[in-house]
Amino acid sequence: MKLKESNRINAEALYELKSVVDPQVNEKGQECLYVLTSICKETDKYYSNIFYKRLDTLDTTQWTFGKDRNYSPRWSPNGEQVVFISNRSGKNQLFLLNKQGGEAKQLTFLANGVSNPVWSPDSKEIAFQCNLKMGETVEDKENITEKKEEKVTSLEVTNMKYKSDGKGFWDGSYDHIAIINIESGDLEQITSGENNYYVQSWSPDGQYIAISADESDEKDFSFIADIYLYNRKERNWKKVTESNGSYGKATWTPDSKRLGLIGSGREYENATLSKIWVYDLESDYLQCLTPEWDVNVGDYAIGDFQQGSVTPGILWGEDNESFTFLGTDHGNTIVYFGNISGAIYPSLIDNHHVYGLSTGGSLKRAIVAISTPTHPGDLYTLNLETGEVQQITDVNKEFAETHTFSEAEPLQFHSRDGWELHGWLMKPQDFKAGEKYPMVVEIHGGPHAMYANSYFHEFQTLTSNGFAVLFINPRGSHGYGQQFVDAVRGDYGGKDYEDIMDAVDYCLETFDFIDASRLGVTGGSYGGFMTNWIIGHTDRFKAAVTQRSISNWISFYGVSDIGYYFTDWQIKADLNDIETLWKHSPLAYVNNMQTPLLILHGEKDFRCPIEQAEQLFIALKVQKKETKFVRFPESNHELSRSGKPTLRIERLNYINNWFLKYV
């Protein structure tokens, strides 16, 4: 029996679905704040508001209203006030709400906006980040009003890191940290100079503010983030880490004697697994608690739905020795328990994606945000001692009652050279035994990311249109240990390609409902590279869609915001080795490409610049190959996840319609 059209999950369903993120439990553990994001169809913009929930009665109250972005709610330590960020005045500014009610009070008025509020332990001050050009301060009068539109002028470039996807061209400004007194409104800037500084956390005794920064002289070739302690009273600094990697998510024990960090060295460049570190202030000693643990600390699952999810660092308990945290493992993100003795065990392990975690300081109960392939996401209480969970929000209840989601069946199989591989297969939403169905292979980006037991709107639209969907974590993916994630470096288009093709063969041998003559393939970023690579090395796919892809490593080296170092890390070659760069470039195999190819690319993508798509399109058209090129204006590398809603929907429809036409 065919699905009713009203039950199908189409691209436009994004207008109906809501994203719930960033749970924040107060220190008493009885109240929780969270952020709910929706899309306003009339304005074609996202808007988010803050909700309050009592955890004993589960009563819910909406605390902010309107069609602006209100997010990052943070309880004051005394539990009486909440600071949050809102763009209601034009730029992102700090606003203060009293728990007892009343209008929100705007605290900051900086021209470039602010981010990342962190309370002082006495609830009298708030540290935050702001963007300042050289010579500017937070107290400059011209910086306290909205700046006038700047005239078009030339851009003088002297640094290699002069552009960044999502931010655009560097304008000579730096991220700095300031503190505001919430009673007087007085501002104090605590960092300055030609470095970026990021506030992490404030010690419970009020003495230190943990800050991350890269103070190396040669920024173009530096890829570190050190942790510093700023002594609030003495106005001096102490460096905690040794400039050998990237460290962050700094959190304090209740007694302020230890600082927990998440970070890694550069042993495998950007493929190095994150570890848990603890710095003891009394002994001045930094120790890695997980040196041999082959699990990546944090949430590295990839998706296309949640807006503004926040991954915490390690969350300490009352005993100053125990903590809870998130880890990425075998297609799931898991809540783990650990302590300074090195013990680690799961508190919540299931086939799901935990994308939010908050405890309020107690290790008895947590609030977690959980998504599954058939559940976009909600909040749950988690008993950290028993593992029992209870759902406390149901933000997409009405949608779920009227629409059909496709399950994701886990797959476990071996590659041709004996490596264990993991993935999922989703059946079409109107699946009927005995019939044959086309299958689309989806390939994630990164390559160091992980498909997970999480909601993926793109996949649901494909199954709604009658396609089976196969997605796996090939070599290079997180979640399967250090050797696995590192294996892709220097081997793009090698064993990773074989892993994907072995997954296709496994499905064709295992599931008789898949039509081997009707296969499609798509992916974005690295997944776009692999899509290009696949159609240059096999004709078994009837159609392909490449998104924000790489086609030419030689030009990518100089045009991407990360090209000159990412290419060296991943391909293990530079412009002194053109032969290797070209050997790994899909463009080198364009003569072999016979598969109808749809090319989707954002015009402001600085990560994989649109010239990568242009080269491929022209090369194919010269040879009269079947191809189409779609350019998305004002869109960067994040189009599929946080781009303009109408363009996200257009993109999904282009993908589905291409496969419906050619597969």
Q: Is 637 a catalytic residue?
A: yes
Catalytic residue among 203, 551, 637, 640: 637
3-state secondary structure of 627: strand
Residue-wise DSSP of 117-175 = EEE-TTSSEEEEEEEEETT--TT-GGGSSPPPPPPP------SS--EETTTEE--SEEE
Side-chain half-sphere of 407: how many Cα atoms within 13 Å? Answer: 5
How many residues would you count in the chain? Answer: 663
User: Do 289 and 299 contact (CB within 8 A), yes or no?
Assistant: no
Question: How far is it, in rounded angstroms, from Cα 224 to Cα 247?
Answer: 8
Side-chain half-sphere of 130: how many Cα atoms within 13 Å? Answer: 31
**Burial group, residue 185, by CB count within 10 angstroms (0-12, 13-18, 19+):** exposed
3-state secondary structure of 513: coil
User: How many beta carbons lie within 10 A of that of residue 23, not counting itself?
Assistant: 26
Q: Which residue has the tokens 């501002």?
A: 187
Closest to 663 (Cα-Cα) out of 503, 469, 434, 439: 439
Question: How far is it, in rounded angstroms, from Cα 548 to Cα 531?
Answer: 11
Catalytic residue among 454, 525, 549, 635: 525
Q: Which residues contact 228 (CB under 8 A, 6 or more apart)?
A: 210, 211, 212, 213, 237, 238, 239, 240
Question: How far is it, in rounded angstroms, from Cα 518 to Cα 612?
Answer: 28
Q: Is 525 a catalytic residue?
A: yes
3-state secondary structure of 94: strand
Q: Which residues contact 92 (CB under 8 A, 6 or more apart)?
A: 69, 85, 86, 113, 114, 115
At 613, phi and psi to the nearest 5?
A: -75, -40
Closest to 54 (Cα-Cα) out of 82, 32, 78, 36: 32
3-state secondary structure of 505: helix
The vertex-475 CA angle with 470 and 476, nearest 5°, equals 110
Q: What would the two tokens of residue 105 be?
A: 């009070």
- Tell me how many helices (H) and strands (E) the chain has: 11, 39
Q: How far is CA 180 from CA 129, 192, 421, in A?
A: 11, 16, 51
Q: What would the two tokens of residue 481 be?
A: 């240990």
3-state secondary structure of 64: coil
Helix axes 495-510, 526-535, angle to 10 degrees: 70
Q: Which residues contact 544 (CB under 8 A, 6 or more apart)?
A: 520, 521, 522, 531, 534, 535, 595, 596, 597, 598
Residues with active-site annotation: 525, 637
